[in-house]
Copies of this chain bind each other. A is one copy, B any other.
Amino acid sequence: MELGRLNHIGVATPSIAESVTFWREVMGATHVHEAFDMPEQGVRVCFVDTPNSQIELIEPLDDTSPLTGFLAKNPAGGQHHVCFEVPDINAARSAFEALDKLPLGPTRIGAHGTPIFFLHPRDMGGVLTEIMESPKDGAAHG
């Protein structure tokens, strides 16, 4: 397996609305996608484009969200995960499993509509890592 594109960095926030204002007005973002809910994951998501990658803003949908604990420790938000692309999610999963890096739960459809899984920070140098199958249309931002 070869290291793929850094698809996005995931940034937790207590408020996507306020974060979008920050990314537009402070950081100069010009391409902010529509926010949408991922109720199965307990999060609301909004992608902000950089010229070569994306920021994924993630906000908890309610107090049972997996993000709630993160924001309790980091009330202003902060760096949550990084996401790399792979050409074949099943091959990638098998490769990580063979190295005893066990994905957190089953492979599922992620925010870009392609299969993803997460790897635990304890197995990944302290970095919560998302592995995402590249969009089939070859789009940089699928």
| A contacts, CB < 8 Å to B | 1-6, 9, 11-13, 19, 22-23, 25-30, 48-53, 74, 76-79, 82, 84, 96, 99, 101, 121-122, 124-127, 140
Looking across the interface, which residue of chain B has its beta carbon closest to that of A77? B126
The interface residues of chain A, by DSSP majority, are classed as loop
Given contacts A4-B50, A52-B5, A52-B52, contact A127 B11 (CB under 8 A): yes
Interface centre among A49, A52, A122, A125 (most CB of B within 10 A): A125
Give complex CA distance A135, B5 in Å: 21
| Contact between chains at B2 and A28 (CB < 8 Å) | yes
| Contact between chains at A9 and B11 (CB < 8 Å) | no
